[in-house]
Amino acid sequence: MNNRFLLTIPILLFGMIFLSCAADDPVPERPNIIFIFSDDHASHAVSAYGSEIIETPNMDRLAHEGIIFHNAFVTNSICAPSRGVLLTGKHSHINGQLTNAQRFDGTQMTYPQVLQQSGYRTALIGKWHLQSDPTGYDHWDILPGQGHYYNPEFITPEGTTEIEGYVTDIITDKVIDWIEENRQGGEPFMVNYHHKAPHRNWKPGPDHLGMFDDIDLPEPETLFANWSGELSDQEGHEDFPEGEWTGRTSAVQTQEMTLMNHFSPAWDLKFPPDSVMDASHANLWRDRYARFNDEQRQAWDEVYDAYYEEFKEKDLQGEELLSWIYQRYVKDYLTTIVSIDDNLGRLLDYLDEAGLAENTVVIYTSDQGFYLGDHGWYDKRWMYEESLHIPLLIRWPAGITQGTVNYDLVQNLDFAPTLIDLAGEPVPGDVQGRSLIPLMRDQTPDDWRESIYYHYYEYPGEHAVQRHYGVRTDRYKLIHYYQIGEWELFDLETDPHEMQSVYDDPDYEGIKEELKQELDRLREHYEVPKVDPV
């Protein structure tokens, strides 16, 4: 019996408890962990979730060979706060990362620190977006701020370097290289593999430029709903209510995230900067454009100059213009996801070739969802389904039965305790999420949550989304825009697109009161201050 096996015995014994295994179940050693985090990836842009606009075969492979969660949600749909929740397993008001403006406090407990202290080799590679230096990592190699799609800079403790190429490919190269260098020696590894994509402004990589040009993508059912205050006369849209955002609060009427009125021609549609009047976005466009080398610029211009010429030639107005903007936006967005999926395939192939696949947990998720023309919008922030919902796919051949499907209510609040639990360490008592391991083994606890709490704080701010909090159950959602004193109640069974609030409908009076009581209970349970902390 070798020494490595002797060291493994106590870990296996502890694993029998934390995995809640039956007595005759095999118990794996502490697994390696690869946590893949994309930025703004909507679950309805993953084919495993039934997407009609994209095929994601490698993400689908994770679902088919592991588990797919159909009801995974965030606690606060914006980048830095979501990352704070990921790291700590605590709501924004507890971990201090309420908006994108704060600097993350890395001295508080985070799951990388726990794993590092428990003997894991730890790394963070890719997007960080929390201003402070990462803690709990043996190695970190991060993008500054949002980072760049082409020829990006990376920051390490030793300094900053610029690397030629496409950011998704480069991050994947770095992840595979780090695993190869750190997979020997008996200690398990954990790497945070964090993508910039598909964050705005959605620059396709050189291998995917123009890949959707010959396809007219299906439009979301709500693309034209109330965008101009008039009922759309297009087939399939006549059932939506007339009037300026009828059926929802004034918060919806004052937002600034419509494709029709708030998209930047230079920044978002990549029109030549001299063609637009918005000087600030033109300057941003020039700055990003200047990052191309000559070969990249030539390939880019061949594609995007043609789009601009098409736009000028068609001289579109009204709904035809909105349809054109939608196609350009979503095709750029999707091409960045195709690159993520291709690179996920590279990683999975590497794990197979290196003999690491069996006991490596591969988790794919996003920091929040995103609006892909739904309600005529882009961006996130709202408690509506498109930005509340996230993809969550986990493969672990040694610990998850292939093809497992889960519909329990889970949140990004649960990631930290899950990863700590996977490491065989006790979850700190002040963590507010719960380990997903029982669900991964298709053994949902009887006391699993039946509702989730959400709270968005960043107002005033970009896109002018009012602060709000709310509760969601398997069927209903109650949202309180507390600074303007307005409420919304949606029945997700009869109104899955959340187009008509039933808050004032007397038939829902009992449901409304039950949800308000549950909202109060959740706010007390999660120790939410009665006074807004911002």
| Angle in degrees, CA 453, 454, 459, rounded to 5 | 155
Q: Which of 249, 259, 298 has the alpha carbon at shortest distance from 502?
A: 249
What is the average pLDDT across 218-243? 57
Q: Which of 144, 256, 250 has the alpha carbon at shortest distance from 196?
A: 144
Q: In the prediction, which pLDDT does 238 show?
A: 40
54 in Cβ contact with 370 (< 8 Å): no
341 in Cβ contact with 211 (< 8 Å): no
What is the average pLDDT across 138-144? 98
What is the average pLDDT across 504-533? 95
Q: Which of 83-92, 212-221, 282-291 has the lowest mean pLDDT?
A: 282-291
Distances (CA, A) of 532 to 83, 458, 459, 472: 21, 11, 12, 21
Model confidence at 232, pLDDT cuts 50, 70, 90, reads very low
What is the average pLDDT across 464-483? 98
Predicted confidence (pLDDT) per residue in 236-270, tens digit: 334 434 445 678 899 998 999 999 989 988 899 99
Q: In the prediction, which pLDDT does 472 show?
A: 98
12 Cβ contact partners less than 8 Å away, ≥ 6 residues apart: 27, 29
35 in Cβ contact with 193 (< 8 Å): yes
pLDDT at residue 32 greater than cutoff 80: yes
Q: In the prediction, which pLDDT does 402 show?
A: 98
Q: In the prediction, which pLDDT does 236 show?
A: 37
- Sorted by where each starts, the structural domains of the chain and their CATH numbers stand as 3-203+336-447 (3.40.720.10), 454-525 (3.30.1120)
Q: What 3-state DSSP class applies to 301?
A: helix
Q: Which of 139, 137, 141, 166 has the alpha carbon at shortest distance from 152?
A: 166
Q: In the prediction, which pLDDT does 2 show?
A: 40
Question: b vs e for 180-189, b when ≥16 Cβ sit within 10 Å of the residue's Cβ?
Answer: eebbeeeebb
Predicted confidence (pLDDT) per residue in 413-440, tens digit: 999 999 999 999 999 999 999 999 999 9
In one-letter notation, the amino acid at residue 47 is S
Q: Which residue has the tokens 């043996």?
A: 138
Predicted confidence (pLDDT) per residue in 8-26, tens digit: 333 333 443 344 443 344 4
Average pLDDT, the chain: 90
Q: How large is the angle between the packed helices 318-353 and 57-65, nearest 10 degrees?
A: 60
Residue 258 CA to residue 325 CA, distance in Å, equals 11
Instruction: State both tokens at 122.
Output: 């730890």
For residue 10, is the peptide bond before it cis, meaning its omega torsion is within 30 degrees of 0? no
152 in Cβ contact with 176 (< 8 Å): no
- How many CA within 13 A on the CB side of residue 79? 24
Helix count (H) and strand count (E) of the chain? 14, 16
Q: Which of 437, 460, 388, 453 has the alpha carbon at shortest distance from 101?
A: 460
Q: What 3-state DSSP class applies to 171?
A: helix
For residue 460, is the peptide bond before it cis, meaning its omega torsion is within 30 degrees of 0? yes
Residue 36 CA to residue 62 CA, distance in Å, equals 12
Q: In the prediction, which pLDDT does 285 show?
A: 77
Residue 66 CA to residue 348 CA, distance in Å, equals 13
For residue 412, is the peptide bond before it cis, meaning its omega torsion is within 30 degrees of 0? no
Q: In the prediction, which pLDDT does 531 show?
A: 76
Predicted confidence (pLDDT) per residue in 280-292, tens digit: 677 777 777 889 9
What is the average pLDDT across 351-362? 97
Q: In the prediction, which pLDDT does 532 show?
A: 73
pLDDT at residue 380 greater than cutoff 90: yes
Predicted confidence (pLDDT) per residue in 159-172, tens digit: 999 999 999 999 99
pLDDT at residue 527 greater than cutoff 60: yes
| Backbone φ/ψ region at 264: left (φ over 0), alpha (ψ -120 to 50), beta | beta
What is the average pLDDT across 331-344? 98
Q: What 3-state DSSP class applies to 280?
A: helix
Q: In the prediction, which pLDDT does 414 show?
A: 98
In one-letter notation, the amino acid at residue 482 is Y
What is the average pLDDT across 474-496? 97
